[in-house]
Chain A
Amino acid sequence: KNQVEQSPQSLIILEGKNCTLQCNYTVSPFSNLRWYKQDTGRGPVSLTIMTFSENTKSNGRYTATLDADTKQSSLHITASQLSDSASYICVVSDRGSTLGRLYFGRGTQLTVWP
């Protein structure tokens, strides 16, 4: 069964600190993995995309890693800001269908305190 598991479920950190969010998946055949940021009451917005051959990709203070062998990904946030408070969702796409089906994790709810 294709699944995406994220941890932790929620996380509270102080402004300026770093944090790492985890994503494990069983989706096969694998196409790509995206990290989305979803602010409260809004739709998700893509932060990074990782394909099979990529190990690390950065987008400003966000750095995503992918280990395709162990089917694990992480999202590292550096020097957190209050605006980073949101839900971070790991989304894995398969390549076994025309749709390119998206599989969503439940998200990690990050709260940054001043």
Chain B
Amino acid sequence: EADIYQTPRYLVIGTGKKITLECSQTMGHDKMYWYQQDPGMELHLIHYSYGVNSTEKGDLSSESTVSRIRTEHFPLTLESARPSHTSQYLCASSKSDRGNTEAFFGQGTRLTVV
């Protein structure tokens, strides 16, 4: 069982609200990722981090922002949620190893913006 946790699991909010999706891991992994996944579709990388104070945008453009102040914590923030942000958001982490690195995933946050 992977020690990576996301909260909340489900969130329904109104348009224009500010939200933060939480992600924490207790494995001491340097690398952390945020993916967006629509039903039946592949995961798309939206943000990643190599370590504390390191954040980069991923392949899929996203209006969200992230921060990495502590190794174990990688929150994602939407300043003004819109219906187009409705999706599942998956957080993952991995060791800093260019070899056979396994990404461990959280259970995801299903976000619905109404």
Please report A residues at the B interface, Cβ cutoff 8 Å: 4, 31-32, 34, 41-46, 49, 51, 89, 91, 93, 95, 98-102, 104-107, 109
Residue of B nearest to A9 (CB): B40
Contact across chains for A41 and B42 when beta carbons are under 8 A apart:
no
Contact across chains for A43 and B48 when beta carbons are under 8 A apart:
no
- Collect the chain B residues with CB atoms within 8 Å of residue A4's CB: 42
- Collect the chain A residues with CB atoms within 8 Å of residue B99's CB: 31-32
> Known contacts A41-B108, A42-B108, A43-B92; is A49 also within 8 Å of B102 by CB?
yes
Please report B residues at the A interface, Cβ cutoff 8 Å: 2, 4, 31, 40-45, 48, 50, 90, 92, 94, 97-103, 105-108, 110
Residue of B nearest to A94 (CB): B98
- Collect the chain A residues with CB atoms within 8 Å of residue B94's CB: 100
Contacting B90 at CB < 8 Å: which of A31, A43, A98, A99? Answer: A43
Contact across chains for B103 and A45 when beta carbons are under 8 A apart:
no
Contact across chains for B31 and A99 when beta carbons are under 8 A apart:
yes
Chain B: minimal CB distance from A28 (Å): 15
Residue of A nearest to B33 (CB): A102
Contacting B102 at CB < 8 Å: which of A34, A41, A51? Answer: A34
- Collect the chain A residues with CB atoms within 8 Å of residue B2's CB: 43, 45
